[in-house]
Amino acid sequence: MDLDEFKEIIHRCFRCGYCKFTHNYSDFNCPSFDKYKFESFSTGGRMWLIYALMNKETEWSERVANILYSCPTCGNCMENCRFEKFNTFLVDIIEAARARAVESGFCPERQKTLLERTINPKYYNPYGEPNTNNEDLKQKYNLPNQAEWVYFIGCTSNYRQQDLRDATLKLLKSAGISFTLIDEHCCTSPLIRTGQIEPVEEFMNYNIERIQETGAKKVITSCAGCCRTLKVDFKKQDIKMDIEVLHTSELINHLLKEGKITFDSEINKIITYHDPCHIGRHLGLYDAPREVYNNIPGIDFREMERIKGDSWCCGAGGGVKIGYPDWALEISKERLEQAKKTGAQIISSTCPFCRTNLSDANIKFAMGFEILDLVEILDKIQITAHKK
Partner 1 sequence: MNKEKILSELQKIVGNAFVSNDPAELYIYSIDPGASKPRSVNFVVMPASTEEVQAIVKLANEYKIPIVPMGGGLTLSGLTLPVKGGIVMDMKRMNKIVEINKLSRYALLEAGVTTGRLQAYLDKNYPELQVSVPDAPPSVTVAGNALINGSGFLTHQHGDHGAMINGLEIVLPNGELCKLGSCGLSDYWFSRGPIPDLIGLYTSSFGIMGIVTKLSIKLYPKPKMRDLVFGLFKKTDIIPNLLYKVTSTDLVEDILLGIQGKPDWMADYIFIISYITGNTQDELDKKEKKLKKMYRKNGARFMKAPPRLRDAFLEKPQFAANAADFRKGGGFEYVGSFFPLEKVPEAIEEGVKISEKYGIVPTLGARIFGATHTVMVFFTYAFNRADPDDIQNARDALKETNEITLKLGGIPWKGELEAQKMILEKIDPQYKNLLKTIKNHLDPNGIMNPGNWEVN
Q: Which residues contact partner 1 by CB under 8 A? A: 11-18, 20-22, 24-27, 36-40, 45, 48-49, 52, 57-59, 61, 63-64, 67, 82-83, 85
Decide whether 69 or 234 has the Cβ nearer to partner 1.
Answer: 69
Least CB distance to partner 1 at residue 38 (A) = 5
- What is the Cα–Cα distance from 182 to 209, expressed in whole angstroms? 10
Least CB distance to partner 1 at residue 283 (A) = 26
Residue type, 86: F
Decide whether 49 or 216 has the Cβ nearer to partner 1.
Answer: 49
Least CB distance to partner 1 at residue 309 (A) = 15
Alpha helices, DSSP H, located in 175-307: 189-193, 200-213, 224-228, 234-236, 248-257, 287-293
Distances (CA, A) of 7 to 89, 97, 114: 12, 11, 28
Least CB distance to partner 1 at residue 28 (A) = 8
Decide whether 81 or 313 has the Cβ nearer to partner 1.
Answer: 81
Decide whether 22 or 156 has the Cβ nearer to partner 1.
Answer: 22
Of residues 193, 349, 333, 361, the one with CA closest to residue 279: 349
Of residues 287, 302, 291, 282, the one with CA closest to residue 347: 302
Decide whether 250 or 334 has the Cβ nearer to partner 1.
Answer: 334
Least CB distance to partner 1 at residue 64 (A) = 5
- What is the Cα–Cα distance from 122 to 7, expressed in whole angstroms? 39
- What is the Cα–Cα distance from 87 to 332, expressed in whole angstroms? 26
Q: Is the dihedral of CA 233, 236, 237, 238 positive or negative?
A: positive
Least CB distance to partner 1 at residue 3 (A) = 15
- What is the Cα–Cα distance from 72 to 296, expressed in whole angstroms? 32
Decide whether 92 or 379 has the Cβ nearer to partner 1.
Answer: 92
Least CB distance to partner 1 at residue 257 (A) = 33
Decide whether 63 or 122 has the Cβ nearer to partner 1.
Answer: 63
Of residues 372, 218, 359, the one with CA closest to residue 289: 372
Cβ contacts of residue 253 below 8 Å, gap of 6+?
288, 289, 291, 292
